[in-house]
């Protein structure tokens, strides 16, 4: 198969990065069947930042939509938020998040990522977690990147039923069902 022309590749590269900002240079190189260096040169020419910067930009946009909790209260890096519907956050497990004896992540960090993401989904001035049903599926070690995806499944009055699934790069590691209650000013 012949390579596509530079101008066509640039147009396609812009479209791909706009649709999927988390694609790495390596993934883009495979997709376009060119070298990583070619992708880097194309990015520079088009003014497309590297993947870390694109993630940071997406995270900043997502944080602007959070109304229920302060940005500093979020555990993990919020990268996508559709208030009232869905959201995604990333959490890099560091050495200070694991037990010294067995190097397994402390559960409250994984729970906090999921819980703060569930709260962030609710478009309300104040909300609290009413119920949490959680399941830790496999141990998580230092260095792993956790991706939590949350979705509002149902809403009844001021109660939001939110499901969160957390994965590492291989498998599901945690699952939670939350009932988040939106509070009015009198509560």
Token digits of residue 132 = 């949490």
End-to-end CA distance of the chain: 65
Packing angle, helices 25-32 and 36-46, rounded to 10: 100
In this prediction the pTM is 0.70
Q: Is the pLDDT of residue 141 over 50?
A: yes
Edge-to-edge strands, sheet with 77-82: 77-82, 86-92, 145-156, 159-167, 172-182, 127-136
Residue 1 has pLDDT above 50, yes or no: no
Report DSSP letters for 14-63, one per residue: HHHHHH-TT--HHHHHHHHTS-HHHHHHHHHHHTPPPHHHHHHHHHHHHH
pLDDT of residue 175: 97
SS3 content of the chain, % helix, strand, coil (to 5): 35, 30, 35
Average pLDDT over residues 80-96: 91
For 5-12, the CB contacts below 8 A with 24+ separation are 6/42, 9/34, 9/42, 10/42, 10/45, 10/46
Q: How far apart are CA 1 and CA 45, in angstroms?
A: 25
Whether the predicted pLDDT of 137 surpasses 60: yes
- Give the residue-averaged pLDDT of 49-73: 71
Where do we find the tokens 């495979």?
A: 30
Percent of the chain with pLDDT over 90: 49
Residue 186: pLDDT band with limits 50, 70, 90: low
- Provide the pLDDT confidence category of residue 71 given band limits of 50, 70 and 90: low
**Residue 151, H or E segment:** strand 145-156
Q: What's the pLDDT tens digit per position in 143-156?
A: 999 999 999 999 99
pLDDT digits 0-9 by tens, 34-60? 988 998 888 888 888 887 777 777 666
Sign of the dihedral defined by the CA atoms of residues 162, 168, 170, 172, in that order: negative
Domains and CATH numbers, the chain: 6-48 (1.10.10.10), 64-182 (3.10.129.10)
- As a whole number of angstroms, the distance between CA 78 and CA 6 comes to 34
95-123 pLDDT per residue, tens: 999 999 999 999 999 999 999 999 999 88
What is the arithmetic mean of pLDDT over 160-174? 96
């Amino acid at each position: 198969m012949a390579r596509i022309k530079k101008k066509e590749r640039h147009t396609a590269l812009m479209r791909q990065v706009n649709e999927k900002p988390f694609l790495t240079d390596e993934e883009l190189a495979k997709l376009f069947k060119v070298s990583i260096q070619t992708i880097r040169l194309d990015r520079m020419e088009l003014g497309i930042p590297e993947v870390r910067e694109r993630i940071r930009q997406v995270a900043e946009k997502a944080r602007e939509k959070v109304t229920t909790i302060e940005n500093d209260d979020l555990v993990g890096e919020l990268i996508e938020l559709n208030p009232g519907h869905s959201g995604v956050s990333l959490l890099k497990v560091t050495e200070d998040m694991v037990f010294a004896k067995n190097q397994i992540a402390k559960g409250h960090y994984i729970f906090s990522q999921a819980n703060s993401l569930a709260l962030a989904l609710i478009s309300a001035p104040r909300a609290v977690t009413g119920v949490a049903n959680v399941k830790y599926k496999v141990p998580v070690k230092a260095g792993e990147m956790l991706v939590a995806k949350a979705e509002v499944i149902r809403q009844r009055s001021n109660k939001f039923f939110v499901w969160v699934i957390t994965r590492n790069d291989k498998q599901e590691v945690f699952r939670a069902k939350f009932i988040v209650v939106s509070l009015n000013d009198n509560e």
